[in-house]
Structure formats: structure tokens, C-alpha cells
Structure 1
Amino acid sequence: MSTSVTALTLGGLDQLPAHTRRCVFWEIDPAVAADSREFSDPVFEKEAWLSTVMLEWGSCGQVANVDGKVAGCALYSPPSVVPRAALFPTSPVSPDAVLLTTLSSEFPHRDGDVAHRLVQAVVADLVRRGVRALEAFGIRNDPPTKAMSDRTVGSMRLMERIGAPARGVRSSECAPETCMIDADFLEDVGFEVVAAHHRFPRLRLELNSDHGWKEDVERALDQLLAAAALTAPTRIGV
């Protein structure tokens, strides 16, 4: 199989996986999402948000393709433009970090290297742009040692705060369990917990130190430079 990862562009928003195009878990203020008078079309809202971020900040996504078919994506941006980023018990995101909000891989590629390739592409892009760190809110299952009644009540209260689905989007589509990144995976690829929580830890990947991605980042940067050289206009001598 041939896997490629490319930066998301304004003209390529329709390349995002179906769930990602409809999911506004991160991008829309829960209060707005709960008001049907202000929110009705999740696809429109998601594309409007992505367009605004790309125009004002630059690239904010990577899309993976396997044999020409979309296999996954990653989305990231300054936390200041992510309304839900301020609502977690482990908020706020560090002022020097970009927030990774979405990392998804489509069936049948969920057990492959697509997610790792996407993280590599995000890291390469941010290193090139001089970003110091990448952070993410991970999600964990409640620990079995905690009383079931405490877990249930605590989870319900926290879900009411951060997990209310948007109108027009089924709750199974827009919820922490389907829209957040597994904390164990984040740790596996080098993130470290900087704000602990039994359910929603905040993790950080330093981009200005040797975090195990150096060779992958350098390889990705070399590929970007090679692609730029191929597309650069030939200078005609006078």
C-alpha cells in the first residue's frame, strides 16, 4: 500500500473524512451549539472555522491517503480559536503551544501506521514554523479502583460541561469518546502528561528538544524542500 500525507488546503476541505467534516466538538462554543437559532449546519460551521483559521494562521490540518483514498486526518490550531479548549479540568493550554484537536484514522487503517504518519506530518509542519510545543487533551477510561457511583456522577457532570452534542449532530457523532485522542496513544508517540486527570489529562510534546521524532521530522522537511524545488519556476537568464 502507498501512504501519503499532505497539508489540508482551502480547496480540499471535502477530502476530510465524513465524521471530521460534521464534528464541531472543538470548534463551536457549547452554548452556541445548544441554540438551534444560531447553529444548524455542522458541515458549514466546520468549513467556516477551518477557512478562517487557514486564512489567519496558516495550515491547520494534515490528510492521509492510502492508495488514493482518504485514510485519516489531523487538525491543530492555536488554542485561542478553539472554544472548548478552555472548558477542561486541565485547561488552559500552555501559551507557547499549538493544540492538536483531531487525530483520526478510517477503517481499515485504524491499526496501521496512518496515525503515526499524521503526527509526524504535524510535527514537521510546526517545527518548520518555529512552534515550541504541541499539546492535546487526551481521554482515558475511568480507573476501575474508583467507585462506580462516583465515576457515573462525576462523568455525567463533566460531560454536561464539555460534551454536549451540537444540534443537528447525533450525540454518538459528537462526544468526547469519538472526538478526542486516546491518551495512551499520545504517550506512545512521545507526549508527556503535564496536567494529570483521571479522565482528561493534558499532554505535551516538546518540539525544541530530542523527543524521538528528530529523524522523522528531518526526513519530512527534506521531502517538503524537494517538492518545493520541483515546483519552483525556472529562472531565465537575460
Structure 2
Amino acid sequence: MSARITPLRLEAFEQLPKHARRCVFWEVDPATLQRGDHLADPEFEKEAWLSMVMLEWGSCGQLAVPCEPEEADFTASASSGDDPCLGYAFYAPPRAVPRAGLFPTGPVSADAVLLTTVGVESGEDGDGLTRALMAAVVGDLVRRGVRALESYGRTPDAAELSDPQRVSPDLRPAVAVLGDCSVEQCVTDAEFLADVGFEVVAPHRYFPRMRLELEQGLGWKADVEAALERLLVSAELKQPVGAGASLRA
């Protein structure tokens, strides 16, 4: 299915898939919950986190929704608010992500934003859509002058951690389960990160910290600028005579 990518706005929260709305793996420090306690309302916690980050820092998510037949694949535009979600990506300054400091390969570099989650709904073009979401994330951060994007990758060996006896004390805070959230669902695959240009800056058997330099662009910046120029030209062509000047104001 063709898709368009749009920055996630708080009013589009209900468009997110159920797990994405309830996932607080990154957003809540498991140490704040006493043993045996459960979050009373994960969706409230997630929405409150999004609201806080958007207010203090700005856009922290990208949303993929179906596009109309006449729209180009993976173009950026506003969401109607009623479209089903095909995929999503979340990212934020590491200081706003409680679990960011619990991984053994931390901390995230001071000049980087942390990519926490990239998800695509079952049955969609997973590879193409995840790459389009990543392009949207990178495009947003390049425009905002961010130097790098980092993420904790999940290696195939991390599957061993489903056995509690294999989890060493230094890893327990990082892999603590919250509600429906777990390492398998909520930590980005390291192979995918490598495929889209991330490089390992802190090796680890389970959770390498990986980095994408945005100053160098790795081919992303030129593509983003070209796509924005095409969108601008297209928008001007649709404007009444004399209205295009406002687009460049």
C-alpha cells in the first residue's frame, strides 16, 4: 500500500496502533514502580510523555498513513486525523527518555537525538516503509540542525534474555518489562539500523549503541532537500497567482 509520512501531532494519538499507544518501555523508568506494581493507564502515560516532549522540544514522532491514489509514495503531508496508521517512529533528546540511561552502552552522546522505536503494522511493505519513516526522521532532524541520531540496537543474541537466569545484574534495569513492553518489541533491530547507515560506536553482545552522522548526511540530506524542493514547487503550482510568496516567507 502507498503511504505518506507526516509528523505526529498530539491530536493524532488515537491513530497509533494499540501497542504504540500503550508502549511506555522508553518513557517510564521501571525503577519508579515498586515490585509487583502495574501502570494504571499506560495510554495516559504515553500521551502525557508525548505532550511534554512536543511542548518542550518539538516534533518527536513520524506517522505513516495511506495516501490517495494520486499522491506519490512516501510523500509528506498533513494527516486527516482519521487515517489508519501503517507505521510510526519515535525519537527525542535522551534526557527526556528515562530508559536511555539504563543501557550498559550508554550514555547517548551529548550531540545526538535518540531514536527509540520504529514500527510497521503487519502486512505492510516493512522494508520500504521503515526506510521512508527513517528518511522522515532524518529530514526533520537535519532541518533542526541536529548533528547525529543514535539508537540502542538489539542483536539476535538478545533473545537469550527471555531467560531471567541469563540476565546479569547490570542488564536488569535495561530489560525490565513494563506492561506489554519488552526488549523484543520495543528495541530496534541492530541489523536494520546498520542497513540504513548507523555505525556501532559502543559494541555490546546484546545492545550496541549505534550512530548516524547527520552532518555528513550519508546520502540522506541531499535526498531530503530534493524532496522538499519538489513539494514546494508542487504546492506553488497549486496556489492562485500571487499566493506562492507566502510559502517562502
Q: TM-score range by the shorter chain?
A: 0.7 to 0.9
What corresponds to 1:57 in structure 2? 57
Query: Which secondary structure state, in structure 2, belongs to the residue aligned with residue 74 of structure 1?
Result: strand
CA distance in 2 between partners of 1:143 and 1:50 (Å): 28
2:153 is the alignment partner of 1:138: yes
What corresponds to 1:72 in structure 2? 87
CA distance in 1 between partners of 2:214 and 2:92 (Å): 15
Letter in 1 for 2:19: H
Letter in 2 for 1:222: E
What corresponds to 1:181 in structure 2? 188
In the alignment, structure 1 segments of 5+ residues that lack a partner are none
Letter in 2 for 1:23: C
Query: Which secondary structure state, in structure 1, belongs to the residue aligned with residue 156 of structure 2?
Result: coil
CA distance in 2 between partners of 1:81 and 1:195 (Å): 21
From 167, 174, 196, give the equivalent of 1:155.
Answer: 167
What corresponds to 2:102 in structure 1? 87
Letter in 1 for 2:55: L
- 1:217 is displaced (CA, Å) by 1.6
**Would the aligned equivalents of 1:124 and 1:220 in 2 still touch at CA under 8 Å?**
no
Distance 1:220 1:33, change over 3 A: farther
From 94, 118, 122, give the equivalent of 1:107.
Answer: 122
Distance 1:59 1:223, change over 3 A: farther
From 161, 164, 171, give the equivalent of 2:176.
Answer: 164
What corresponds to 2:141 in structure 1? 126
Query: Which secondary structure state, in structure 1, belongs to the residue aligned with residue 200 of structure 2?
Result: strand
In the alignment, structure 2 segments of 5+ residues that lack a partner are 68-82
- 1:94 is displaced (CA, Å) by 0.2
Quote the sequence identity (%).
51
CA distance in 2 between partners of 1:34 and 1:212 (Å): 46
Query: Which secondary structure state, in structure 2, belongs to the residue aligned with residue 28 of structure 1?
Result: coil
Q: Deviations over 1:158-177 (max 9, x none)?
A: 553222223xx2xxx30111
Distance 1:62 1:34, change over 3 A: farther
Task: Identify the range of structure 1 (90-99 vs 33-42) with the bigger mean alpha-carbon deviation.
Answer: 33-42
- 1:52 is displaced (CA, Å) by 0.6
CA distance in 1 between partners of 2:30 and 2:170 (Å): 13
Distance 1:6 1:161, change over 3 A: same
What corresponds to 1:203 in structure 2? 210
CA distance in 2 between partners of 1:26 and 1:121 (Å): 21
Letter in 1 for 2:43: V
**Would the aligned equivalents of 1:191 and 1:204 in 2 still touch at CA under 8 Å?**
yes
What corresponds to 1:3 in structure 2? 3
What corresponds to 1:42 in structure 2? 42
Distance 1:118 1:83, change over 3 A: same
2:23 is the alignment partner of 1:17: no
CA distance in 2 between partners of 1:66 and 1:156 (Å): 43
Distance 1:41 1:224, change over 3 A: farther
**Would the aligned equivalents of 2:142 and 2:221 in 1 still touch at CA under 8 Å?**
no
- 1:107 is displaced (CA, Å) by 0.6
Query: Which secondary structure state, in structure 1, belongs to the residue aligned with residue 167 of structure 2?
Result: helix
TM-score, normalized by length of structure 1? 0.84
Query: Which secondary structure state, in structure 2, belongs to the residue aligned with residue 127 of structure 1?
Result: helix
